[in-house]
Structure 1
C-alpha cells in the first residue's frame, strides 16, 4: 500500500501540532499514523485512498458505524440547522436524560458534560464533596482520563504522579490497587476506610487489553464501600451502552454503583460525557448543593440529538444482537486461530469488544474460553490469563505494536493504535468484514 500522503501530512503536522497529533495515543503507530479521509460503514478510507476494515471505530463512540442511519442523520442535521448551541437548556437534554435513567440501573439523575475526562473529574469531586473525605481508590493500569487525581502510579505504599506537571500532593490522596486483587483492596480499606471517598473502577479494564473481572470482585468492592460509607463509581465511558446493551455493564455484571460516568456512545460520535447516579448524591452538585460543576458546551444540542437518536435506534433495530453476534464470531474464530498458531496468546473481549493479547505464559490453549477469556476458574489457562494491567504489560507488547499491527494494516485491517486499546464492532460491520479480518489474522500470526 502507498502511504505517502499520510507521511507528508504527518511531516506537516509536526510543525504545527505537538507531536503531530491532538491526542497522544494517535502518535503510537510507527513510523507515523494513518490519516483518515472519510468513513464508510465499517470501513475507513485514508488520505492515500487505501480502504480498511475499521475496528477502531473512533476508539468506541461509533456503535452504529460511519454511515449513520437516516433517522439519526436527520436528527443531527435538523438540530444543526436550528443553530449550533444556545447556552440555555433544551428539551433534548431532558429527553436524553430520561432515556438513560429508564435503562441504566444506577441512574436516577444525570449531569451532561463534554468528555469522559470531565465526567470522571466531576464524579471524583462530587464523591469528595458528598462524603467530606479526600482519598480515592483506583485500579493500577485503569484509565479515567487526563485528570490529576487519577494520573497516579505505584501502589498503596509508594505512589506518585504518572505525568509531569502534577503536584506530588495529589498522589497522596489516590491509592492504586491491582485490579482483581480482593486482598489488596480489603487491606486498603482496613487501613484507610474512614478517609476513603470512593472507589473508581472500570467494569472491565478496557484500556489495558480488555481484562474481565474475576467472579466476586465487583461484589467485594460494593461491600467494602457500603461498609465504609464510601461511594462506588463505575467508569462506563467505554463500556456504557456497549457492554450489557442499554443497561450497560452494570446490568451485565449485576452490581449497581452509586455513580456512573459515561462518554463515547452516549454522544453518538460527538464530544460528550455524563455523570449519573442516586438523587441524593447527584444533588450535591450546584445549583442544588455545594459541589461546583458547570460548562458552556454541556448538554450541547447537536450532541444530545446524536446521542439520543443513536440509543433509540439501537433499542428499536436489534443493533446489539448484530454487533454482539459479530463480536462472538470474531472471538471464536480468533480462538481457533490462536490455538493452532500461537497457543501462548490470549483472546479477550465480550459483547462487541475483541482483542488478541500477545501473552507469554501458558503452554496450551486446550480448554481456553472459546468466546474470549471469561476468568473461568475451571479453564485450563485460568492461572495464566491476565488478571490485571501488569499481566497484560508483561506480554510481547512491542511485537504487537511494531510487527503485527503494521502487517495487518498492509492487509487492509485497521486495529487499535497499540496492544492496550480495545477494538470495537459496529452496526456497519458485516460477516464479510469478520471473515476478511480472520483471514488476515491467520496470515499475520
Structure 2
C-alpha cells in the first residue's frame, strides 16, 4: 500500500509542528502517522487515496460518522451563514443545555466550555471552590485531559507530576488510587477525608484499554464522598452519549454524581466541553457565584447547533440501538477469534466502544496497571500496522478506545473481523 504522501507530509510537518502533530497521540503510529484527506460514512481516505474502515471516529466525537445527516448539516450551515460567533448569548445554547439536563439524570444546570480538558479543569476548580478543600482523588490510569491537577504518577502515599512543567505543589493535592480498589479509596478518605474536595473518575476507564467498574465500585465512591462531604465527579468526556445512550454511563450504572464533565459527542465533531451538575453546586460559578470560569468561544453557536442536532437525531432515529448492536457483534466476533488464536488476549468494551487488549495472562483488565502490563509494543508496532495494511484503521495506540458510528455497516464489521483474524 502506497503511503508516500503521508510520509512526505509528516516530513514537512516535523519542521513546523513539534513532533509533526498538534496532539501527541497522533504521532504514535510507526513509522509515521496516516494523513487523512476526507471522511466518508464509516471510512476515511488518506492523502494517498487509500480507503480504510475507520474505528477512530475522531477519537469519539463522530457518533453519526463522517457524513452527517441532512438535518445536522443544514443546522450547521444555517448557523455558519448567520455569522460565525458573537461573544453574546444565543438561544441555541439554552436549547442544548435543556436537552442535556432533560436526559442526564444528575444534571440540572450546564456550563459549556471548549474542550474536555477545559471541562475537567473547570470541574476541579468548582469542586474546590464549593467545598473549600484542595485535594482530589483520581484513578491510576485515568485520563482527564492535559491539566496540572491530574497529570500525576504515583499512589496515595505520594504523587509527582507526570510531565515536566508542572510544579510539585500541584501533585501534592492529588491522590491517585487504583481503579476498582475499594479498600484503597476507603484508605485515602480515612487519611485525607477532611481535605478531599472531590473524587474524579471515568465511569469506565476509556483511555486505558477500556476497563469497566466492578459491581458496586461506583456505589462505594458515591457513599464515601457523601460521608466525607466531598463531591463525586464523573468524567464522561468519552462515555457521555456513547455508553448508556441518552442517560450516559451514569444512567447505565445507576449512580448519580454531583458533577459531570462532557465533551466529544455533544459537539457533533466541533470543539466542545461542558460541566453539568446540581443547581446548588453549579450556581457557584461566576457570575452567579464566585468560582471564576469564562471563555470567548464557550457556547459557540455553530458547535451548539452541531451538537444539539446530533443528539436529537440520535434520539429520534434509534442510533444507539444500531451502534450498540454493531459493537456487540464486533466484541462477540473478536472473542471467538481471540479464543481460537490468542487466548491470553482480552476483548473489552461496552455499547459502541470496543478493543482487544494484548493481556499476558488471559484475564480481563481491572485497572490501569493491568493494561499497562499488556504487550503494548506488539500492539503498537506490529499489530496496528498490519491492520492498516488490511484496510482497517484502529486507534493510535493500545490505550485509546475504538468507536462505532451510525454510518458503520455489517459489511464493515465483517471486513474488520477478517482483518483481525489475519493480523492475530
Q: 2:86 aligns to what?
A: 86
Q: 2: distance between equivalents of 1:159 and 1:290? A: 29
Q: 1:147 aligns to what?
A: 147
Q: 1:411 aligns to what?
A: 390
CA shift, 1:158, in A, is 2.1
Q: 1: distance between equivalents of 2:346 and 2:51? A: 28
Residue correspondence of structure 1 range 1-400 to structure 2 within 5 A? 1-362=1-362, 384-400=363-379
Aligned residues: 424
1:402 matched to 2:391? The reply is no
Is the partner of 2:126 in helix, strand or coil? helix
Q: 1: distance between equivalents of 2:320 and 2:204? A: 19
Is the partner of 2:380 in helix, strand or coil? helix
Q: 2: distance between equivalents of 1:391 and 1:343? A: 16
| TM-score under structure 1 length normalisation | 0.95
CA shift, 1:281, in A, is 0.1
Q: 1: distance between equivalents of 2:370 and 2:321? A: 32
Is the partner of 1:405 in helix, strand or coil? helix
Q: 1: distance between equivalents of 2:232 and 2:168? A: 25
Deviations 1:13-62 (A, max 9, x none): 00000100000000000000000000000000000000000000000000
Q: 2:420 aligns to what?
A: 441
Q: 1: distance between equivalents of 2:27 and 2:353? A: 23
Deviations 1:190-226 (A, max 9, x none): 1110000000000010000000000110000000000
CA shift, 1:82, in A, is 0.3
Is the partner of 1:193 in helix, strand or coil? helix
CA shift, 1:95, in A, is 0.3
Deviations 1:274-307 (A, max 9, x none): 0000000000000011100000000000000000
Deviations 1:295-322 (A, max 9, x none): 0000000000000000000000010011
Q: 2: distance between equivalents of 1:318 and 1:245? A: 10
Q: 2: distance between equivalents of 1:316 and 1:217? A: 33
1:423 matched to 2:385? The reply is no
| Bigger mean CA offset, 150-159 vs 306-315 | 150-159
CA shift, 1:385, in A, is 1.9
Q: 2: distance between equivalents of 1:150 and 1:394? A: 21
Q: 1: distance between equivalents of 2:107 and 2:353? A: 24
| TM-score under structure 2 length normalisation | 1.00
Is the partner of 1:299 in helix, strand or coil? coil
Judge conservation of contact 2:158–2:175 (CA < 8 Å) in 1: no
Judge conservation of contact 2:36–2:47 (CA < 8 Å) in 1: yes
Structure 2 residue runs of 5 or longer lacking an equivalent are none
Q: 2: distance between equivalents of 1:266 and 1:53? A: 23
Is the partner of 1:53 in helix, strand or coil? strand
Q: 2: distance between equivalents of 1:289 and 1:234? A: 22
Q: 2: distance between equivalents of 1:155 and 1:250? A: 26
Is the partner of 1:176 in helix, strand or coil? strand
Deviations 1:383-406 (A, max 9, x none): x32110110010111000000000
Deviations 1:396-430 (A, max 9, x none): 11000000000000000000000000000000000
Judge conservation of contact 2:158–2:172 (CA < 8 Å) in 1: no
Deviations 1:328-386 (A, max 9, x none): 00000000000000000000001000000000003xxxxxxxxxxxxxxxxxxxxx321
Q: Which runs of 4+ in 1 moved over 3 A?
A: none
Q: 1: distance between equivalents of 2:158 and 2:93? A: 43
Q: 1: distance between equivalents of 2:71 and 2:27? A: 35
Judge conservation of contact 2:348–2:364 (CA < 8 Å) in 1: no
